Amino acid sequence: MEFTGNRNNGGARNRQPSAYDTIGRVPPRDRDLEEAVLGALMLERDAYTTVCDILKPDSFYEPANQKIYAAIQSLGASQKPIDMLTVTEQLRLNGDLEAVGGPVFISELTSRVASGANVEYHARIVAQKYLARELINFASTIEGKAFDESNDVDDLLQEAEGKLFEISQRNVKKDVTQIDPVIKQAIEQIQNAANRTSGLSGLESGFHELDRLTSGWQNSDLVIIAARPAMGKTAFVLSMAKNMAVNYNIPIAIFSLEMSNLQLVNRLISNTCEIEGEKIKSGRLNDQEWDSLMSRIRNLYSSPLYIDDTPSLSIFELRTKARRLVREHQVKMIIIDYLQLMNASGMKYGSREQEVSMISRSLKQLAKELNIPIVALSQLNRSVESRGAEGGDKRPQLSDLRESGAIEQDADIVCFIHRPEYYLHSDTDAEGRDIRGLALFIVAKHRSGSVDDVKMRFRHNFARFENWSESSSMSKGTVGSKLNASAADNAAATATVDGPVNTVDPFAGSNPALPKDEVPF
């Protein structure tokens, strides 16, 4: 039998070391640098303001150094002078003076440093070594739990992801920027918007009145679209995603926590092909509808639309997937359906309201990090239903947002979908105006612009929203879609560029018994 271990290790000689084994290793730290930073803080009057955002007591490895920096931190918070004498007195008040080595050790710290010129650079090294120690502790803890087979692996993954996110947030620092380069960037953005035929600075949604109000969805914005159930939240974002991905070729990602990807695609088919959802599910299509399905569904092929239907998605999973989508597919906007179904597992919260607050805050941070708009759907509480008498004012308000007021605070734009005919149970309002299919898209909060109501047409049989101006002159049963026509024209133009269009279409016709291997979807 071959001997592979040290004889002095006894029974542990056959143990296989793990990747994170710290036995026999010294954790990352630099005692001389820590003492140099402390000495510089007591020599230079403005040194603390330079490093206060970089360091905290736990950043120091030596317990004595932690206590000394805590005393310096107390003096800085009270805006008191920081020098050898004041720090010594603060340590005495804290009861830590003898524990750190007495006044002699404090005086030695200042004598070892010539100046505080490099204090920021030294402080960053100390902070980096602290993060390295945190990662080692994190890895060791996760390793130990992974060996314990009583732990659920999925829960462990969520915990690991949450802890890693927490550590990474400690290292997210952004330096201040002088205004000149920002002004230059703003002028370039204005010039780019002026050169566009649409005159918009953001992403076009395909809803012209809404685009004029918002100038398009802006990068780094968190947009909340809220409504009561059955108002058409999912129908709106699917209509918008289809407009953007198919008509304007803008890569869009949809995270659906409520519906499967097949359900979403069926609704997209109904939306695009103008076939009722019930017929899509049952497959009972007449000849004309089969023709429409086979011809119009081509508009959806190769469109830059990406769907993720992971249930109970965590904010940490979303961050990982969103980064990959932006990096690999150049996704320009993310849609989440809907916010209250997300979770922040791996971290503990005192209430669901605190968890939702953390989710909304993280979504705003993610929008800024990726520099893309994030559109999140949200539920409203039941205040809308109880407000006013039957047929009274049921317009949503910002206070109706469900489970957390932080959603309203974190969002750059808050919108509501309101359909009067749903509550009035009538084709006309109190003034006798026709409200069939009328949907009000209410922009209730707009951090960078004005608020207003935008009229849209909702076609419930196709689960589709349309521009009011394009459909108001047509009857409700025969409303057409110029957007679809435009998409079809674009698809035809693309086909012409790629090659001649076949005069004989193998998928044309209305035979519902088309062989399975010949159906193009």
- Residue tagged 């803890």 (tokens): 141
Annotation marks residue 166 as catalytic: no
**Amino acid identity at 431:** E
Contacts with 18 (C-beta within 8 Å, 6 or more apart), sequence order? 143
Token reading at 36? 């140099």
Residues 403, 162, 362: CA angle, nearest 5 degrees:
45
Distance between CA atoms of residues 74 and 87, nearest Å:
9
Peptide bond into 349 cis (omega under 30): no
> Residue 194 in contact with residue 179, Cβ under 8 Å?
no
With 0-12 CB in 10 A as exposed, 13-18 as middle and 19+ as buried, what is 156? Answer: middle
**Among 62, 120, 166, 258, which one carries the catalytic annotation?**
258
Q: Which of 199, 234, 236, 202 is nearest to 218 (CA)?
A: 202
> Residue 370 in contact with residue 393, Cβ under 8 Å?
no
**Amino acid identity at 39:** G
Collapse the DSSP code of 325 into the 3-class scheme (helix H, G, I; strand E, B; otherwise coil) and give the result.
helix
Helices (H), ranges, 78-152? 84-94, 97-100, 102-111, 119-147
Query: β-pairing, 333-337 with 452-459?
Result: unpaired
- What dihedral do alpha carbons 60, 65, 70, 73 form, nearest 10°? -80
Instruction: Cite the active site residues.
Output: 258
